[in-house]
Amino acid sequence: MQTSKNGNAFTNNPIVKAIGLQRIVVVLAVILEAIFFSAMSASFRQYATVVSILDYSYYITFMAIGVTFCLISGGNDLSVGAGMICYALAGGYLVQQVGWPVWAGMLVTIVMGLCFGVLNGTMVAIMNLPPFIATLCTMLITRGLGSILTGGMAVSWPSRKGVGGWFRSIFKIIGTGNGIPKGTIIPIGFALVLLSIIVMTVVLNKTKVGRYIIAIGSNKEAARLSGVNVVKYQMMAYIISGFFAGLAGIAYAATFSSSVAPGTGPGLELDAIGAAIIGGTSMTGGQGSVIGTLLGVFVMSLLKTGLPYIGLQANWQQIITALVLIGAIYIDVLKNKKTA
Amino acid sequence: MGEVILTMKGIDKSFPGVHALDHVDLEVCRGEVHALMGENGAGKSTLMKVLTGIYTKDSGTITYEGREVEFHNPREAQAAGIVIVHQELNMMNHLTVAQNIFIGREFMKGKLIDDARMNAEAKKLFTQLGIDINPAEKMGNLTVGKQQMCEIAKAISHEAKVIIFDEPSAALTEAEIDELFKIIRDLREKQLGIVYISHRMDEIKVITDRVTVMRDGGYVGTLITEQCTKDDIINMMVGRVIYEEPKTKSMVPPDAPVVLKVEHLNAGKMVQDVSFELHKGEILGFSGLMGAGRTETARALFGADPKESGDIYVNGKKVDIKSPEDAVKHGIGYLSEDRKRYGIVVGKTVAENSTMANLRDFVKGLFIDKKKENKITNDYIDRLKTKTPSVDQLVINLSGGNQQKVVLAKWLVKNCDILIFDEPTRGIDVGAKSEIYHLMNELAAAGKSIIMISSEMTEILRMSDRIVVMCEGRKTAEIDIAEATQENIMHAATLR
């Protein structure tokens, strides 16, 4: 977030400016959230909770990275939640029922994400459909398709001890006694998340793809008149989003021991959109950061983990997620009004 | 002035129903600043769009650097060295200055963008132009003037040989204009050909070498700036025969009460200290060139845009208008220049549109009294001679003139005594035009008071009892119709 020219002493402080006021606020929000849940519940204060927060953060981060690119391009991607589950269902079905090796199932999951990214990109960039509606339709398609592919049944990716269970160690290593003490959990998925964040930060700020996506979100006509292939780069935002939705599907399947069930995806995209907007990405395009999104992810995953500890289950979580989202978008609206 | 670099000859362009360019000529030399002048709608922008390939010409030739050329899009023109610095700036506010200048042709270091080099190159450009702008600053943080300097820098970085400035000074401060002129003189020194579109007479005298005047899509003539006076140019701009008989004297009795008084109205840059009075039964014309602040004044008065200060009196009583709702309550109706956006709901019926502003009077219990709605709507269809098969016709199916009548009916149903007509005949064919004029005269005779904003000189002279002229957000003249001429109005409209 750019601080306004006539801010106060705090907002004009060079350190505050360099980090960005919004990021400081978000970090404070995460800390306050953690303190709040810790104070409210003794059982929250344990290592398992940290692991659980991270478990949630993996798939939300992947979805949110993609959504960040779509938002910056001036669009949105509502299909990542349903899509993620659909791709994981398809990949898991091939592994569980057809007997494909796990790596092939994972590849299918990612390729499906890419395909639906191309579909979204085609609708938005070539057919000029409003991103909101186009990706909403893709949400419905992927939700329906997920059920059809598996005959409406839930799909279990291999368990940790089963054949092909190695893929779960991509995100979480559980010690077995040789080398690592038995039962110790090492959440190495976080390293993967950090790597993705760094790579996509460079893509956004240092490559043509990122630069043109920002340009299109800022002023599409100006970008077009400057000779930017707006169709190609707008499409690219959705393909990136599709790819990361595929990764999110794998992360989801790998981190949660329960099976992947059809119909569970819709609604999850709001976690991702919320994370991106809380992280300072603008609904109106042209502005956003991948690192900010990661911070936003932790606001969301802390909520998801913490709320059950204070007795608020799934239904309440939905309401609170929605309220947080409304708040974040309202701040974005106010921010844009000020700079307009 | 050097050799000729660009010649446009006999350029002709028609759009459905409009002959936009009628065999227009333009010649630009190296090291020349060539003014292109004309009233609103004279065809200046169209001509430049033909030059840069946004429009295709129907006939005529463009010769550039000795060869006949035809560009198919602005990029081709740009590659050849012809660049427009637009009035509406084509900037990406979220990117930095350097990123904007080099968009589409970034310096790369392998797969990554070399921002450091782009900043350095931009710095070089600015030094060359003698401007002080930080290339790493976000574009959105710059003033409009600085943004324009960036556009110029971008044009030069394309190795432009001809630069077209489309009303560059419209949004600039005095100091910024001085800086702009310094740069333009510098470019002239470097033997670039410069086309300078502006309405400002004084600037033309200061900065340009020759002036080409256009009128109603036609070519009027080219003068050497040094050898002509401001009046020569104005005469060329307005010297059209007026087919419609202008009003010769005001129809308002001298003792007519003041129904609306606006004092020291301020709303942003476009409305600065505007004061005027409107009498009962008067048609008060608002004249001025594009961007003079007439619509903005009306919108601020109507409460559609926030105002900073100023008092409004209706029938001698001071009123507080904060929203269109307040304005309507005080009997003010506004017929927008953009009917489809602000005036009517095109997907609704004539009846629904007619009663929209005053639905409260048509409600019986919980429901809308359809019978009453139809009756009143029919009354107004008869009175205004609206051509519609029935009250249930969707407004989208009506012609522009009849749509305008539906909007008018809406405000009359609401019993508005003060009507603001913003470009009442824009996009309306000739026959319907005179019907609208007739209606406005009838309304005025019946005691309604009308503010008419119009960019058409003939319309202003034919309809108004008195004329307020605005220029750049300020009222520059108030002329009684008996003394009004095209020349003195245009003079006030270009006053700075």
What is the value of ipTM here, to two decimals? 0.83
Question: Which of A37-41, A76-80, A116-120 has the lowest average pLDDT?
Answer: A37-41
Percent of chain A at pLDDT > 70 equals: 94
CATH class name, domain B258-493 = alpha beta
As annotated, the residues of chain B forming the CATH 3.40.50.300 domain(s) are: 4-238, 258-493
Alpha-carbon distance of B332 to B300, in angstroms, equals: 12
Better pLDDT: A337 or B23: B23
Neighbours of B202 (CB within 10 A): 12
For residues A197 and A294, is the Cβ–Cβ distance under 8 A? yes
- Collect all residues of chain A within an 8 Å Cβ-Cβ radius of residue B111: 207
Mean pLDDT for the stretch of residues A77-98 = 95
Inspect the interface and report whether the beta carbons of B112 and A217 lie closer than 8 Å: no
- What HEC string does chain A produce? CCCCCCCCHHHHCHHHHHHCHHHHHHHHHHHHHHHHHHHHCHHHCCHHHHHHHHHHHHHHHHHHHHHHHHHHCCCCCCCHHHHHHHHHHHHHHHHHHHCCCHHHHHHHHHHHHHHHHHHHHHHHHHCCCCHHHHHHHHHHHHHHHHHHHHCCCCECCCCCCCCCHHHHHHCCEECCCCCCCCCCEECCHHHHHHHHHHHHHHHHHHCHHHHHHHHHHHCHHHHHHCCCCHHHHHHHHHHHHHHHHHHHHHHHHHHCCCCECCCCCCCHHHHHHHHHHHCCCCCCCCCCCHHHHHHHHHHHHHHHHHHHHCCCCHHHHHHHHHHHHHHHHHHHHHHHHHHC
Q: B4-238 maps to which CATH number?
A: 3.40.50.300
Q: Where are the domains of chain A?
A: 24-29+42-339
Neighbours of B98 (CB within 10 A): 29
For residues B35 and B228, is the Cβ–Cβ distance under 8 A? no
Mean pLDDT for the stretch of residues A308-336 = 86
Inspect the interface and report whether the beta carbons of B90 and A217 lie closer than 8 Å: no
Nearest CA in chain B to A72: B94
- Collect all residues of chain A within an 8 Å Cβ-Cβ radius of residue B105: 227
Give how far B425 is from chain A: nearest CA, Å.
Answer: 30
Alpha-carbon distance of B474 to A289, in angstroms, equals: 43
Give how far A219 is from chain B: nearest CA, Å.
Answer: 5
First to last CA, chain B: 29
- Collect all residues of chain A within an 8 Å Cβ-Cβ radius of residue B112: 202, 206-207
Question: Given this model, what pLDDT does residue B40 score?
Answer: 67
Would you state the torsion angle of the CA atoms of residues B192, B198, B201, B202, taken in this order, to the nearest 10 degrees? -60
Protein fold of A24-29+42-339: ABC transporter involved in vitamin B12 uptake, BtuC (1.10.3470)
For residues B470 and B288, is the Cβ–Cβ distance under 8 A? yes
Neighbours of A325 (CB within 10 A): 18
| Residue of A218, A221, A227 with shortest CB distance to B94 | A218
Contact status of B103 with chain A (Cβ, < 8 Å): yes
- Collect all residues of chain A within an 8 Å Cβ-Cβ radius of residue B91: 219, 222
Neighbours of A30 (CB within 10 A): 19
B interface mutation test: which of A199, A211, A229 has the most B CBs within 10 A? A211
- Collect all residues of chain B within an 8 Å Cβ-Cβ radius of residue A218: 92-95
Q: Which two tokens stand for residue A24?
A: 């400081």
Inspect the interface and report whether the beta carbons of A214 and B91 lie closer than 8 Å: no
The tens digit of pLDDT for each residue in A238-294 reads: 999 999 999 999 999 999 877 888 888 788 999 999 999 999 999 999 999 999 999
Alpha-carbon distance of B141 to A286, in angstroms, equals: 14
Per-residue pLDDT 10s for chain B (496 aa) are 789 999 999 999 988 767 889 999 999 999 999 999 887 667 888 899 899 888 899 999 999 999 999 998 888 888 899 988 876 667 898 999 999 999 888 999 999 999 999 999 999 999 988 888 999 999 988 887 888 889 888 888 888 999 999 887 766 777 788 888 999 999 999 999 999 998 777 788 889 999 999 988 889 999 999 998 887 888 888 765 444 567 788 888 888 999 999 999 999 888 999 999 999 999 999 998 877 889 999 999 999 888 899 999 999 999 999 998 899 889 999 888 777 666 777 778 888 888 887 888 888 878 888 888 899 899 888 888 888 888 888 888 777 778 888 888 888 888 889 999 998 887 666 667 778 888 899 889 989 999 999 988 888 998 999 999 998 889 999 999 999 988 889 888 887 6
Inspect the interface and report whether the beta carbons of B92 and A219 lie closer than 8 Å: yes
What b/e readout covers B420-431, taking b as 16+ CB neighbours within 10 angstroms? Answer: bbbbbbbebeee
The tens digit of pLDDT for each residue in A20-40 reads: 777 888 889 899 999 999 998
Question: Given this model, what pLDDT does residue B204 score?
Answer: 87
Contact status of B345 with chain A (Cβ, < 8 Å): no
| Residue of A208, A217, A221 with shortest CB distance to B113 | A208
Q: What pairs with residue B108 in β-bridges? A: B113
Phi, psi of B34 (to 5 degrees): -115, 115
A interface mutation test: which of B49, B84, B92 has the most A CBs within 10 A? B92
- Collect all residues of chain B within an 8 Å Cβ-Cβ radius of residue A287: 94
Inspect the interface and report whether the beta carbons of A217 and B94 lie closer than 8 Å: yes
Inspect the interface and report whether the beta carbons of B113 and A207 lie closer than 8 Å: yes
Nearest CA in chain B to A1: B94
| Residue of B90, B95, B113 with shortest CB distance to A225 | B90
- What is the pLDDT of chain A when averaged over all its residues? 89
Inspect the interface and report whether the beta carbons of A219 and B113 lie closer than 8 Å: no
